[in-house]
Structure 1
Amino acid sequence: MVVQSKHFLNSPESLVVESLEGLCAVNPHLALDATNKVVYAAFPDRSKVALLCGGGSGHEPSHSGFVGEGILTAAVCGNVFASPSSNQVKRGIDLVDNDKGTVIIVKNYTGDILNFGLAKEHYAASHPEKSDNVKFVIVGDDVAVGKTQGSIVGQRGLAGTCLVYKVAGALAHRGGSLNEVYNVAQWVSSRLGTIGVGLEHCHVPGTGVPDTHLGAQEIEIGLGIHNESGYRRVSPVPPLKELVPSLLEMIISTTDPERSFLPYQGKGKDSVVLLVNNLGGLSELELGAITRAARLSLDEKGISIQRVLSGSFMTSLNMPGFSITLLLLPGSHDHTNISSDLILSLLDDDTNAPGWKWSSKSTPSRTTSQTVEASPTDTTGRTAHLKAPDVGLFNAAVQRACQALITAEPDITRMDSIAGDGDCGLTLKAGASAVLKELANGTVTGDDVVGSAITVARVAEEAMGGTSGALYSIFFSALARNLEISKSPLATLEVYSTALSSSLQTLYTYTRARPPSRTLVDPLAAFVEALPKGAASAVRLAGSAAEHTRDVEAKAGRSAYVEGERLKAEHVPDPGAWGVKVVLEALVA
């Protein structure tokens, strides 16, 4: 795969500070020490414990995006993937200084621990009377790092760190003591497990374009948020229903000698908070499907989900991947004075930190499998069926047309990536696949041409959707009505010609496209108008009209929004028109 190496910036060197200035523009409750790259609460309540965190930039919204009432008091930001210096951290400690105390929370990375730790020690040496007022929490939640490999350095800190911020920050905002805030942060840190997976590594602004890391059908499990290599690679990319359960098993296993970090009990005794985190380059569409897969898998494992959080919490610049975090809540077998209700209520507390994502603040209902019977094709009021002269030939022609569309999908998709929004091929393929299923179960058949048209109209609406789906659905709905009123027992060429001509006029009611318009109307109109003289010649004219869309100025449809010179340079036909050509040529092959 190719790493996305282009970025919007003035310069790589100025990007971090400019981003922090933008963050402060979003939230007037924040202030910035630009020299030291410290974002802090502009109006802190110094009667409460302060929370300080930080690390390399490139993980936004971590860490700066969580500065706000109820989470962090300040965040110290280094350059991309680089720890801030101890001097920067000392400035952060000074900015949040108070009589109640400060808790520093860092991910388990050597640079962060050394520089934040050094700053803490310097602060204690300079303020011996406050040496006990600064506590230090290190979060390591990456289960990809096995016990043998991490015997000295321990687990890396990943997205679970954000849950530590939120719980500890909320308790501090409630007025908790320094020890109370520190203890709850330590406890949450000890109950976290996170595993990440990526389709590709990320690209750091200002660096050279790297060679591709992963193959087109390969993913990497357990890669780090600084492009560190993962635990293993898998090819081909498994479906979510296989991938997500295997990832969760790495977190909850109690039999893996390398990764059994947490005291899961099994047998329906465990309750968790689920965090699904976008590593930076994943679409919201995919993230929703991943969240669903995680919920289903945990339900099947008998693990009770008390809260679900999903979104970008700790990214790795533009990495196309995600991580899953589980926070194991206290159970009856745990000997602790920290209750599940306390943890959940602290997670639910409101905050004005711009990076914290919305959550329902309630326990999700348990997923159940439901099967809904499909409604039969509407045949109300029909007294007779219009049949094809040869049922076998009709069915074979429909099958050919659908298969031809499926085969043509890559070409149509390529055309639409230039002349439109790139989805036409997939839309037509979805419709064709759905019609093939209807053909297999007998809902589309030459025994009932009208009913077949009604079914295709429904399929176009439900399986295709979008503009193409609506146009096809309108046309085939009108075709069904016009075939019905013919009162003929057989669907002859004359019956089709009359019905198609009326259906085209109905379609014109809902679109301004008229040939030549560089839309599917061009070949469709050419076919319908020439059909009375013979199907073969009508198909040839339709094909010519589709080819001619290469040279037609876009007046309607998807291409009307594409810069005209590019269409001329690429010289591609309209994808929708090409789809009509493919269908018609296959029907009369």
Structure 2
Amino acid sequence: MKKIINDPKNVLDEMLNGFTYANEDLVKRIEGTGVIYRTFEEKGKVALVSGGGSGHEPSHAGFVGQGMLSAAVCGEVFTSPTPDQIFEAIKKADQGAGVFLIIKNYSGDVMNFEMAQELAEMEDIKVEKLIVDDDISVEGKRGVAGTILVHKVLGAAAEEGLSLGEIKKLGDELVQNIKTIGVAISPATVPEVGKEGFELEDDEMEYGVGIHGEPGYRKEKIKPSQDIAQELVNQLKKEFSWQKGDRYCLLVNGLGATPLMEQYIFINDVQALLEKEGLVIEFKKVGSFMTSIDMAGISLTLVNLVDSKWTTYLNHPVCTSAWV
């Protein structure tokens, strides 16, 4: 294992110290916790809190700031944050209008965030939650890169002044229209484990691998970008059953070790396929937003823009370290 780290046991603490130092104009850390919160305050507006295990940087701390998350809770690598830390984030984020939790669909995350919600409600903090399950690769529907677009849309809605109930209603509709599928060409290595999380031969790739190295739905010999794009678009088409003229948001996400060069080649191939399908792409984004440490691979997210307001929210200006 080759990594630019010190003691593997200190990765989270040292990473968060470095992150807050590098972005001290935007965020601070609650000492002794994995909670990152924004320096910007909006009294009387709904606060958004998300988080999960680390190793997915820039998620989720990179999306803390004006127009997106109020706070993010960072657990150990690929490990859910504890309820007490999530509770600390809720208390810090609350600006008097309640707190909205955005949770990826993993059993540990769901359980711990719900426990923190109960603790907050005991202290008369109004809390609502949303579980993101955009991954279409396997049964169980994991929460993956589409989560970032939830942060973006709901963050804009909160800044606009929507109530906690209105944001809940918007979020419920939004997640039903977000779908993601990915492919890996090499696995990730967790620092404390020191070896790759799953096996892929040098000439293999795997469709549908999760962001923690969970198995996908098929291994095969590696193919050109055009063929990979065709597979992922075909799978998404089955889920959406789209029609010519439908309006969509497009997100191409690198999984950690995928150069932007390859991401741009891939979105070029995806664009050609979606153009043939007659879809109207109203918003597009390329970059590494929800990673899996050093996994090489890519994911493709589409959002069916059934409400024109969602496009406005996607284009709403923000001030965070990772959304530019």
Deviation of 1:136 after TM superposition, in Å, equals 0.6
Going from structure 1 to structure 2, the CA distance change for 1:285 and 1:265 (only over 3 Å counts) comes to closer
Q: Answer whether contact 1:135 1:182 (CA < 8 A) is retained.
A: yes
Deviation of 1:324 after TM superposition, in Å, equals 0.2
Aligned residue in 2 for 1:135? 128
Which residue, out of 171, 178, 194, partners 1:208?
Answer: 194
Q: Which has the higher contact order (CA 8 A, sep 6+)?
A: 2
The answer on 1:65 being equivalent to 2:62 is yes
Deviation of 1:141 after TM superposition, in Å, equals 0.6
Partner Cα separation in structure 2 for residue 158 and residue 201 of structure 1: 16
Aligned residue in 2 for 1:89? 86
Partner Cα separation in structure 2 for residue 55 and residue 25 of structure 1: 21
Q: Answer whether contact 2:26 2:320 (CA < 8 A) is retained.
A: no
What is the 5 A alignment of 1:410-489?
A: none
> Once the two structures are superposed, what CA deviation does each residue of 1:37-57 show, in whole Å capped at 9, x if it has no partner?
100012421211100001000
> Once the two structures are superposed, what CA deviation does each residue of 1:369-392 show, in whole Å capped at 9, x if it has no partner?
xxxxxxxxxxxxxxxxxxxxxxxx
1:135 is matched by which residue type in structure 2? E
Q: More helix by proportion, 1 or 2?
A: 1
Partner Cα separation in structure 2 for residue 316 and residue 207 of structure 1: 14
What is the 5 A alignment of 1:262-301?
A: 262=240, 264-266=241-243, 268-301=244-277
> Once the two structures are superposed, what CA deviation does each residue of 1:145-174 show, in whole Å capped at 9, x if it has no partner?
1xxxx3xxx310010010000000011112
Aligned residue in 1 for 2:27? 30
Which residue, out of 120, 123, 126, partners 1:126?
Answer: 123
Aligned residue in 2 for 1:40? 37
Please list every run of 5 or more consecutive structure 2 residues that lacks an aligned counterpart in the other structure: none
Q: Answer whether contact 1:137 1:182 (CA < 8 A) is retained.
A: yes
Deviation of 1:94 after TM superposition, in Å, equals 0.9
SS at match of 1:156: coil
SS at match of 1:157: coil
Deviation of 1:14 after TM superposition, in Å, equals 1.7
> Once the two structures are superposed, what CA deviation does each residue of 1:391-419 show, in whole Å capped at 9, x if it has no partner?
xxxxxxxxxxxxxxxxxxxxxxxxxxxxx
SS at match of 2:67: coil
2:235 is matched by which residue type in structure 1? M
Partner Cα separation in structure 2 for residue 175 and residue 20 of structure 1: 30
Aligned residue in 2 for 1:321? 297
Going from structure 1 to structure 2, the CA distance change for 1:29 and 1:304 (only over 3 Å counts) comes to same
Aligned residue in 2 for 1:180? 166
Aligned residue in 1 for 2:284? 308
SS at match of 2:182: strand
> Once the two structures are superposed, what CA deviation does each residue of 1:448-491 show, in whole Å capped at 9, x if it has no partner?
xxxxxxxxxxxxxxxxxxxxxxxxxxxxxxxxxxxxxxxxxxxx
1:327 is matched by which residue type in structure 2? V
Partner Cα separation in structure 2 for residue 96 and residue 211 of structure 1: 35
1:26 is matched by which residue type in structure 2? A
Aligned residue in 2 for 1:220? 206
Deviation of 1:26 after TM superposition, in Å, equals 2.5
The answer on 1:229 being equivalent to 2:205 is no
Partner Cα separation in structure 2 for residue 219 and residue 37 of structure 1: 34
The answer on 1:353 being equivalent to 2:316 is no
Q: More strand by proportion, 1 or 2?
A: 2
Extract structure 1 runs of 4+ deviating beyond 6 A: none
Greater gyration radius: 1
Aligned residue in 2 for 1:52? 49
Which residue, out of 232, 235, 240, partners 1:247?
Answer: 232
Going from structure 1 to structure 2, the CA distance change for 1:139 and 1:124 (only over 3 Å counts) comes to same
Deviation of 1:20 after TM superposition, in Å, equals 1.7
Partner Cα separation in structure 1 for residue 209 and residue 197 of structure 2: 17
Partner Cα separation in structure 2 for residue 265 and residue 96 of structure 1: 38
Q: Answer whether contact 1:66 1:354 (CA < 8 A) is retained.
A: yes
Aligned residue in 1 for 2:6? 10
Partner Cα separation in structure 1 for residue 194 and residue 200 of structure 2: 17
Deviation of 1:210 after TM superposition, in Å, equals 4.1
> Once the two structures are superposed, what CA deviation does each residue of 1:197-248 show, in whole Å capped at 9, x if it has no partner?
011110001213348711121100000100111111011x111222201111
What is the 5 A alignment of 1:366-385?
A: none
Partner Cα separation in structure 2 for residue 211 and residue 121 of structure 1: 34
Partner Cα separation in structure 1 for residue 285 and residue 169 of structure 2: 23
Deviation of 1:194 after TM superposition, in Å, equals 0.3
Q: Answer whether contact 2:188 2:197 (CA < 8 A) is retained.
A: no
Partner Cα separation in structure 2 for residue 16 and residue 311 of structure 1: 23
2:237 is matched by which residue type in structure 1? I
SS at match of 1:77: strand
- RMSD across aligned C-alpha pairs, in angstroms? 1.4
Aligned residue in 2 for 1:554? none
Aligned residue in 2 for 1:470? none
SS at match of 1:173: helix
SS at match of 2:229: helix
What is the 5 A alignment of 1:151-166?
A: 154-166=140-152
